[in-house]
Amino acid sequence: MLHLIHVVPDFSAAAIAGLGDAAAPLPSPQKVRAAQSAALDRTLAPARRLLAKAGLAGLEICLVGNNPGDEIAVYARKKRLDLLVLGSRGRGLLKSVVMGRWPPAWRPLHDAAAADSQAMSPLAPPRRPPATGARRRRTARDAALWLALYLALVTLPLFALLPGHGGGLGFLWDYGLALGYAGLAMLGVQFALTARFRRATAPFGIDIVYYFHRYLAVLGVAVVLGHYAVFRLAYPAALGSAAPAEAPLHMSAGRLALALFALLIVSSLLRRRLRLEYDGWRIAHAVLAVLAFGAALVHLLGAGRLLDAPWKQALWIVLGVFWVGLVVWVRLLRPWQLARRPWRVVAARPQRARIITLELEPVRPLPPLRFSPGQFAWVSLRAGPFAMREHPFSIASSAADGTRLAFSIKALGDFTSALQEMRVGEIAYVDAPYGTFGIDEEPEAPGSVFVAGGVGIAPVLSMLRTLADRGDARPLWLFYGNRVWDRVAHREELEALQARLSLAVVHVLQEPPAQWSGERGFVTEDLLRRHLPATRHRLAYFLCGPTPMTAAVERALGALSVPAA
Amino acid sequence: MTRESRARWLAAATALLVVLLAALFALMRNWG
C-alpha cells in the first residue's frame, strides 16, 4: 500500500484552546482551510499524476503537527511503513542548513486536528449562548459594572495620591510617574483575573476573562514601558547609571521588573512556538509574575516620588500585598482546602477517538457538588493539589447527581495521554464548579441548539443528561462535527438520549463513509438554516469545540440573525 | 465579531482609558 503523506502547515498557531494558552490572532477558519487544501493539492499533484500514470492507487494522508519530521516518523512507525521516500521542498541542502526548514512551525487543523486541536490543552473555552432580551441587558449592566470596577482598582490608588500633594513638577514628569503607578496597578489586577472568582467571570464567561488577562497583560506592560520611555527620553539624568553596582537598589529593581515583565509576555505569547511544556510554563509563569511584581513594588517604594506621606506608602504596600496574596490564595490556601476533600476514580472507560471517560466519587462522604450542566472543574490527577498540575475539564455527567462526576477527556498532550492509563482507585482533587456556560443560564429559552466538535461534546453531554433527568420536553438540536464516523465518541448514548428527549442529532462528518446520507463538511450557515426552524433566533445556542469551529459557527449564526451573547 | 476580538477591543479601550486618566492625574497635579 502506498501512502501519500503531506504535513500541512498550521496557520492556526492561535487555535488555542486552553486557558492560559496565549497566542497570536487567528486567521479565519475558511482562510486556514483554503490555504491548507491548496498546500495539500499543490504538494500532492505531481505524485497523483505519477501514480495515475503507473496505474497505482495511493492513500492520501494529511498530517498535522509541530514538526513535520516528527509527524511523519510517528505515522511511519504506527503504520509500520517499510520505506519512506522524502521529497526535498524548495530549499536545497545548503539553504536548509543556513535558513532552517520551511515551514518552521506546523500545527493541526485540517484533519483529525480540526476536532482534536481542542484537546491539545484540556479545555476549549466553551462559548456562551447568545442571550435573549432581559438577560442580555442584565449581562451588559454587570459587564459595565465590572469594567468600572477594573478602572477604579487601577486608577483610584493613583488619584488617592492627589490630596495634600506638594505641587506638580511639570506635566510630562508627572505623567511619566502616573504611567508607572497605573501600569503597576494594571499588572496587579492581573492576579485577580486568574484567581478564579466565580462572580467576576459570571457576566463575561471564563474565556473572555482569560482573553482579558492576556491582552491587558500586554497593554499593562506597554503602559509600564511608557513610564520608562518618558524618563529615558525626556529626563535621562533621572534614571542614573544602569550598572547595578552604581545604581540605587530601587532603580535596579525597576529595570529587573521591566525585564521580567517582558519575559513573562514573551514566554506566554510564544509558549507553543518556544515549545514550552504547559505545566512547567504555568509554574514559571506564576513565579515570574510574583518576582516581577515584587521587584516593581521595591522600585515604587524606593523611588516613591508621589508617596509623600506615610499613609500613601501604606496604601500601596497594602495593595501590593493584596495582589500577591491572591496568588497565595489560589496556589496555597485553596489547594489546602482541596487536599482535605479527595476524590477517587471509580470508573475509567475508553471511548472512541482516544477519549477516556473518568468517573469520580468523593473518598469520604461529602455533600453533593452543586453545579450547572456545562460548567467545568479544575482537576488534579496523579499529582497533589499543590503541584499546580490541575487541568480544566468540562463536567460531562448530569447535574442531577453531584456525588459522582464524569469527565470525558481526550488524549493528545503529554498529560491527557497519561490519563489513558488511569486506573480505578487513583486519587483526584476537584476544584469546581466554574464557568458560566450552560442551559441554566437560559432557563426561559423555548429550545436549545448545541454545536459540538470532537471532545467538545463533554459539556453538551452534561446538559443533555441533565435535561433528560429533569424530564425536559423542549425541542433540542445537536450538531456534532467529527472527522470520521469511527471517531464519533458517545454516539450510542446520544441515540439513547434521543429516546428520552425531544432531541434531533445531526452528525456532520468531514470524511463520511461511502454510503453516508447525512451531513458532510462543516457546520455552516446553510446547514443550520436547513435544520433549524424559522424561530431559530429565539433559541439558546451553545458552542463547544476547537476555536476555528466555534468562530466559524459564531459567524454563521450572526448571518442567520441570531443575536450574539 | 468573535468573542475574542470583542475582548481585544474591550481591553484596548480599557487601557486607553487608563492612559487618559493618568494624563488627567498629571494635569490635576500641575493645575494652576
Give yes or no: residues A142 and A251 share one domain. yes
Contacting residues of A for B21, CB less than 8 Å apart: 151, 155, 158-159, 182
Which residues span the domain enclosing A412? 339-434
Give yes or no: residues A163 and A192 share one domain. yes
Nearest Cβ partner of A219 from B12, B21, B31? B12
Q: What is the ipTM of this complex?
A: 0.96
Determine whether the interchain pair B19/A226 forms a contact, defined as Cβ–Cβ distance below 8 Å. yes
Measured distance CA(A236)–CA(A257) in Å, rounded: 19
Which pLDDT value is given to residue A399?
A: 94
Q: φ, ψ for residue A504 (rounded to 5)? A: -105, 125
Arithmetic mean of pLDDT, A94-101: 37
Which pLDDT value is given to residue A476?
A: 97
Determine whether the interchain pair B29/A186 forms a contact, defined as Cβ–Cβ distance below 8 Å. no
- The answer to the question of residue A360 being in a domain is yes
- The answer to the question of residue A124 being in a domain is no
Give yes or no: residues A155 and A254 share one domain. yes
Report the relative pairing of strands A391-394 and A343-350 from DSSP bridges. Answer: unpaired
Give yes or no: residues A217 and A270 share one domain. yes
Measured distance CA(A88)–CA(A234) in Å, rounded: 54
Counted domains in chain A: 4
Q: Which DSSP string corresponds to A203-254?
A: TT-HHHHHHHHHHHHHHHHHHHHHHHHHHHHH-HHHH----TTTS-HHHHHH
Arithmetic mean of pLDDT, A229-252: 92
Is pLDDT above 80 for A413?
no
Determine whether the interchain pair A226/B7 forms a contact, defined as Cβ–Cβ distance below 8 Å. no
Nearest C-alpha neighbor of A181 from the set A202, A164, A160, A204? A160
Q: Which of A188-197, A380-389, A408-417, A468-477 has the highest mean pLDDT?
A: A468-477
Give yes or no: residues A44 and A149 share one domain. no
- The answer to the question of residue A137 being in a domain is yes
- The answer to the question of residue A116 being in a domain is no
Cα-based distances in Å from A477 to A116, A398, A454: 22, 18, 16
Which of the listed residues A418, A434, A450 is the one where a domain comes to its end?
A: A434
Measured distance CA(A94)–CA(A69) in Å, rounded: 18
Q: C-alpha cell of B29?
A: 497635579
Q: Looking at residue A480, which CATH number applies to its domain?
A: 3.40.50.80
Q: What is the number of other CB atoms lying within 10 angstroms of the CB of residue A141? A: 11
Give yes or no: residues A325 and A225 share one domain. yes
Contacting residues of B for A223, CB less than 8 Å apart: 15, 18-19, 22
Residue A505 and residue A498 in contact, taking contact as beta carbons nearer than 8 Å: yes
Which of the listed residues A387, A403, A434 is the one where a domain comes to its end?
A: A434
Q: C-alpha cell of A235?
A: 529626563
Give yes or no: residues A145 and A106 share one domain. no
Contacting residues of A for B10, CB less than 8 Å apart: 147, 212
Smallest CA–CA distance from A169 into chain B, residue: B30
Which of the listed residues A336, A359, A387 is the one where a domain comes to its end?
A: A336
Which residue reads 464548579 in cell numbers? Answer: A433
> A85 versus A296: which is more confidently predicted?
A296
Write out the H or E segment, with its range, that includes residue A452.
strand A448-453
Contacting residues of B for A155, CB less than 8 Å apart: 18, 21-22, 25
Measured distance CA(A511)–CA(A516) in Å, rounded: 10
pLDDT confidence bin for A157, thresholds 50/70/90: very high
pLDDT confidence bin for A14, thresholds 50/70/90: very low
> A410 versus A197: which is more confidently predicted?
A410
Is pLDDT above 70 for A28?
no
Which pLDDT value is given to residue A29?
A: 64
Give yes or no: residues A138 and A180 share one domain. yes
Contacting residues of A for B23, CB less than 8 Å apart: 175, 178
Which pLDDT value is given to residue A48?
A: 81
In total, chain A counts a number of residues equal to: 565
Give yes or no: residues A326 and A192 share one domain. yes
Arithmetic mean of pLDDT, A356-385: 90
Give per-residue pLDDT as tens, A481-531: 999 999 999 999 999 999 999 999 999 999 999 999 999 999 999 999 999
Which pLDDT value is given to residue A202?
A: 57
The answer for A 525-564 residues in CB contact with B (under 8 A) is: 547, 551, 554-555, 564
Q: Output the average pLDDT for chain A.
A: 82
Give yes or no: residues A533 and A394 share one domain. no
Give yes or no: residues A29 and A144 share one domain. no
Give yes or no: residues A477 and A555 share one domain. yes
Q: What is the number of other CB atoms lying within 10 angstroms of the CB of residue A228? A: 18
The answer for A 220-259 residues in CB contact with B (under 8 A) is: 220, 222-223, 226
Which residues span the domain enclosing B13? 1-32
DSSP state of A523: -
Give per-residue pLDDT as tens, A303-342: 988 888 899 999 999 999 999 998 888 888 888 989 999 9
A339 Cβ contact partners less than 8 Å away, ≥ 6 residues apart:
A384, A385, A386, A429
Counted domains in chain B: 1
> A115 versus A86: which is more confidently predicted?
A86
Give per-residue pLDDT as tens, B1-32: 667 788 888 899 999 999 999 999 999 999 86
Measured distance CA(A354)–CA(A264) in Å, rounded: 34
- The answer to the question of residue A236 being in a domain is yes
Which residue reads 497593554 in cell numbers? Answer: A219
Measured distance CA(A391)–CA(A18) in Å, rounded: 9
